[in-house]
Amino acid sequence: MKKNIKTIYGLIIIAVFGAFVFYGLKQLNPKNPLDEIEVKIKEVETQEKVLTESEKELVKEATEKEWQEVDKQTDK
């Protein structure tokens, strides 16, 4: 019985140690935020290609209107 408990404790200790090693190695090599931004930019570009000319014009007008509202708020 004691042999089984020691085996279980040993396995738990090995698993915890492995988890710490994994976490430590992951912290040494974090993802580059610029890579994630580039992926998002590519996604937006593919969505832009799908839009028709009239839809692109509507998006342009909407952003211009938003910037005009921001300008009015900052001029106050």
* Sequence-ordered strand ranges (E) for the chain: none
- 8-state DSSP, 32: P
pLDDT tens for each residue of 35-68: 888 988 888 878 767 777 888 888 888 888 888 8
Q: Residues with Cβ < 8 Å from 51, sequence gap 6 or more?
A: 59
Residue 29 DSSP class: S
Q: What whole-number distance in Å separates Cα of residue 27 and Cα of residue 21? A: 10
Residue (of 42, 13, 63) closest to 5 by Cα position: 13
- Residue 26 is predicted with a pLDDT of 82
